[in-house]
Amino acid sequence: MGNITVRKESMADCECLAKCIFFNDRMASKPATAQILKKQYCQGNSSECARYVVFKALGGEHVPPDLYPSQKDRVEKILASARA
Ligand code: SF4
């Protein structure tokens, strides 16, 4: 058994977590999936989250309700149409 150091401070909760409708509404019916995504994005690398990227660039009102954290391929289009 080795020395496994859990560096909690490097994995901050996403600043949107409390208000993010994706997790507080849409994922309510899929708690297992929500748990996985929360660990990966919301309590892990939120800068990789598609919702977070749109939120940062345009503001929360521009984040589509159905945008999944893993759908970074949609981000460009969303940003482009918002700026058109
Ligand atoms: S889904 Fe994305 S924007 Fe929402 S709380 Fe998680 S990391 Fe933040």
Q: pLDDT by residue (tens digit) across 9-51?
A: 456 899 999 989 888 888 889 999 999 999 999 999 999 999 9
Tell me the CA distances in angstroms from 24 to 21, 31, 32, 84, one per residue in order: 5, 10, 14, 30
- Give me the domain span that covers residue 63: 17-83
| Index of the ligand 1 atom closest to the CA of residue 49 | 2
pLDDT digit string, tens, across residues 65-84? 999 999 999 999 999 999 88
Q: Answer whether 27's CB lies under 8 Å from 34's CB.
A: yes
pLDDT score of 55 more than 60: yes
Q: What percent of the chain has pLDDT over 90?
A: 67
* Structural domain contains residue 9: no
pTM for this structure? 0.84
Cβ–ligand 1 distance for 20 under 6 Å, the answer yes
Q: Answer whether 67's CB lies under 8 Å from 52's CB.
A: no
* Structural domain contains residue 22: yes
Instruction: Count the domains in the chain.
Output: 1
